[in-house]
Structure 1
Amino acid sequence: MTDDRNIFIVRCGEVALKGLNKPYFERMLVERIKKMLKKYDGAEVKRHEGLIFVRTDKSFSKGEIIGQISKVFGVASISPAVEVETDIDKIGEAAVKVMLELIEEKGVQTFKVEAKRADKTFPIQSPEIGRIIGAKILIGCKVLKVDVHNPECLLFVDVRRDKSYIYEQKISGFGGLPLGTNGKGMILLSGGIDSPVAAWMMAKRGMMIEAVHFHSYPYTSERAQEKVEELASIVATYCGRFKMHVINLLPIQEEIVQHCPEEETTILVRRFMMRIAERVAEEKGCTMLITGENLGQVASQTAEAIVVTDASVKMPVMRPLIAMDKVDIMAKAQEIGTFETSIQPYEDCCTVFLPKHPTTKPKIEKILESESRIDVETLIETAVASKETVNIFPQD
């Protein structure tokens, strides 16, 4: 039995359904896993017979390696495994050893063997492999009993041409598609709960991201921007490092407050944010904008407001949270690790000059009339020219 390195079996999710394009997606997934594990010296990632095998030195924690792999989009599940020669007696010896360890570690008392013969030239069929290995375990582990309906341990035996694999865990990954397989988008990233989740969800669909963040200094503090950078770094643990373009929105807000109806302030500011994000996106080779908007959540996110907002840009706008309940968005934020940072009480540019009674059903004609009172193009060009770019790195 080969046991000088830890071995992990990584399974593709949706990638496995890609037909003729499957090899491309698998190669991208292997490259993403390699990047995630590059700090682990000697880590090896290879495709073989429809699976991805990861090998690492035993000095590295299995749990830590699994945690890193599970963050790679495209991974459906991971199993720490034992590799053994494809010989029924050696498979049986290895299975007994695995079960003895599980008895000691977890107090397992009942088990079931589920065998799969990937190598159809192997002379014993899958059901018989399961019976033979089960019998060997009963002989070698006297305290165990077979329970085919509700076993405490379901032991998997995967018989392949050169090597076979034994494992008892299938640890779920996030699924989705490997990064870089679905273009590049620009997320309008705030310090709230929603936009980091939206960025994560689009990255899960294989989209590389960049971010634009608006502030209203000095009405918003430097600590508020640091909060957003911290949120971005958490997102980067899943999608790799990216750039965040920081823009002061205050001059535009002041112009709107001075020249336009108060109740239209929110929607007008939102239209400027979209236009500016579009300009930056075009510069950076992004093909679409991404927002964390959720239908009906606030005044600027009613159906009418979204239509008027979208009319300000030509680029497609992705809203992955549009139909989600807030509680579901919060649950996802907790799952990916952004929630606790998002709820820190620092100012947001959207709360500056907030009208008492914002319009919820804006009319495009009135909005265009209001915008005619200010120099829209000059304000946008000035804002884009003044942007500062921050490099966002994955949180350690």
Structure 2
Amino acid sequence: MDRVISISLGEVMLKGKNRKNFIDKIVGQVKRAIADIGYEKIFNDMGKIYILADYESFESIIKRVQHVFGIVYISPCIRIKRNSDEFEKAVLEVVKEAMEKNSDIKTFKAHTKRADKNYELKSMDVNNKIGGIVLKNTELKVDVHNPDLYVYCDVKEDIYFYTQRYKAHGGLPIGTNGRGLLLLSGGIDSPVAGFLMAKRGVQIDALHFHSYPFTSDRAEEKVHNLAKILSAYTGNLTIYSVNLLPIQKEINKNCPEDEMTIISRRFMMRIAEKISDKNGYNSIITGENLGQVASQTIDGLNVTNRITDRLIFRPLIGLDKVDIMDIAKKIGTYETSILPFEDCCTVFLPKHPSLKPRLSDIEKSEEPLNVEELVNNAISEMKIVKIKQEA
């Protein structure tokens, strides 16, 4: 009898012939996430991944593994051999541990999954065996409809008992759906957008625009801190930091005031596309939300889209702000995002921004600008920051 951590996979198990590649990705990311904690062995047993490690490290390992996409549940288990005489001992140990943690437990239900159909007992027989052990040795009663405690049993090459299931994020493992360049501001939305696309298997790096010295070093530091929080989910990431101020000054000098925001946004897309071309990103990710600000009306988004043929992901496009804030709180970015430091979008902000820009009008307004030179100069001056995965 020994202690292991079981990892339940979600939609990865539906991938057919590609399943092994997805599982290998998850195993690799689990190994990286817990490398500094240490473990004895990671192995597969009929559809689940298991970690054999020091029991004292289980809590730390579970917290790390919860951030690995592709995983839906994590459980600390007791494992016994199929022919072991420790069945009763293992059942009582997981049940008594659960009761020690929660004195309100009065009822239970056994729940068996028999992955190996060659096992001599059927699932119902295993449930009855577990139930008899618990009823004989504790004061718990059976409740098959609304139990206080589930006693889980997985019958595979070995047999695993557990009572706890820690929820993870699901999704797909990082790197299985290409690479994306996230336009990362210091606000609430863009970190959530990055998280959601990483959850779909996109490898994330970030592009941040500032307007130094109109924006402060503290504002830049805030973005780096957001990236560090994101890195717990995405792994190591790179931030391309671009000063937009020279471009904003030229727009302010040569273009109508009400078009300032949308033209600035188009320059951001030009810069994102050029960085993507050079570094192999096949998508751009933004935190835009339909109708939230002036540049995010349907007309504004349409005019911005015309800059690039590259796929633009806007995972927040139809979410309510409250929904976005809830996700930000859940992933740990919210408190940093609301720190009161300015960002580049507040510089030269028009009093009455255009809500229904037309492409022909915007293109005409941009004619006095040396677009290519402005973009190239901004990229030539950009700084690159490497963020290591946050433990």
TM score, norm. by length of structure 1: 0.96
SS in 1 for 2:44: strand
SS in 2 for 1:173: strand
SS in 1 for 2:96: helix
Match of 2:366 in 1: 371
**Inter-partner Cα distance in structure 2 for 1:193 and 1:99:** 42
Higher mean C-alpha displacement, 92-101 vs 369-378: 92-101
Match of 1:210 among 202, 205, 211: 205
1:100 aligns with 2:87: no
Match of 2:7 among 10, 19, 27: 10
Tell me the alpha carbon deviations over residues 72-101 of structure 1, each in whole angstroms, 9 at most, x when there is no partner: 000011111100121475222210222222
Q: What is the Cα deviation at residue 393 of structure 1? A: 1.9
**Inter-partner Cα distance in structure 2 for 1:99 and 1:210:** 45
Q: Percent identity?
A: 46
1:115 aligns with 2:117: no
Higher mean C-alpha displacement, 98-107 vs 164-173: 98-107
Q: What is the Cα deviation at residue 43 of structure 1? A: 4.5
Whether the 8 Å contact between 1:12 and 1:76 is mirrored in structure 2 is: yes
1:159 aligns with 2:180: no
Q: What is the Cα deviation at residue 322 of structure 1? A: 0.7
SS in 1 for 2:170: coil
Higher mean C-alpha displacement, 185-194 vs 97-106: 97-106
SS in 2 for 1:266: helix
SS in 2 for 1:59: helix
Whether the 8 Å contact between 2:226 and 2:336 is mirrored in structure 1 is: yes
User: Residues 356 and 43 from structure 1, CA distance in 2 versus in 1: closer, same or farther, beyond 3 angstroms?
Assistant: farther
Whether the 8 Å contact between 1:34 and 1:44 is mirrored in structure 2 is: no
Higher mean C-alpha displacement, 50-59 vs 195-204: 50-59
1:44 aligns with 2:41: yes
**Inter-partner Cα distance in structure 2 for 1:219 and 1:58:** 52
SS in 2 for 1:101: helix
Count how many residue pairs are aligned between Structure 1 and Structure 2: 390
Match of 1:64 in 2: 60
Match of 1:197 in 2: 192
Task: Structure 2: state its 5+ residue gaps.
Answer: none
Match of 1:346 in 2: 341
Q: What is the Cα deviation at residue 209 of structure 1? A: 1.1
1:85 aligns with 2:116: no
Question: 1:1-396, aligned counterparts within 5 Å?
Answer: 1=1, 3=2, 6-60=3-57, 62-87=58-83, 89-107=85-103, 108-141=105-138, 143-161=139-157, 163-396=158-391
Higher mean C-alpha displacement, 45-54 vs 374-383: 45-54
Whether the 8 Å contact between 1:40 and 1:56 is mirrored in structure 2 is: no
Whether the 8 Å contact between 2:181 and 2:205 is mirrored in structure 1 is: yes
Q: What is the Cα deviation at residue 219 of structure 1? A: 0.5
Task: Structure 1: state its 5+ residue gaps.
Answer: none
**Inter-partner Cα distance in structure 1 for 2:130 and 2:309:** 62
Q: CA RMSD in A?
A: 1.2
Higher mean C-alpha displacement, 175-184 vs 119-128: 119-128
Tell me the alpha carbon deviations over residues 303-345 of structure 1, each in whole angstroms, 9 at most, x when there is no partner: 0000000111221211111111111000000000000000000
**Inter-partner Cα distance in structure 2 for 1:95 and 1:283:** 57
Higher mean C-alpha displacement, 268-277 vs 62-71: 62-71
Q: What is the Cα deviation at residue 106 of structure 1? A: 1.6
Tell me the alpha carbon deviations over residues 128-163 of structure 1, each in whole angstroms, 9 at most, x when there is no partner: 11112211222222x2222222211110111223x1
Tell me the alpha carbon deviations over residues 343-390 of structure 1, each in whole angstroms, 9 at most, x when there is no partner: 000010000000000001001111111110111111011011111100
SS in 2 for 1:98: helix
- The structure 1 segments of at least 4 consecutive aligned residues displaced by more than 3 Å after TM superposition are none
Q: Which amino acid aligns with 2:12?
A: V
Q: What is the Cα deviation at residue 48 of structure 1? A: 2.2
SS in 1 for 2:386: strand
TM score, norm. by length of structure 2: 0.97
Whether the 8 Å contact between 1:33 and 1:45 is mirrored in structure 2 is: no
**Inter-partner Cα distance in structure 1 for 2:317 and 2:305:** 14
Whether the 8 Å contact between 2:178 and 2:201 is mirrored in structure 1 is: yes
User: Residues 388 and 394 from structure 1, CA distance in 2 versus in 1: closer, same or farther, beyond 3 angstroms?
Assistant: same
SS in 2 for 1:201: helix
Whether the 8 Å contact between 1:79 and 1:170 is mirrored in structure 2 is: yes
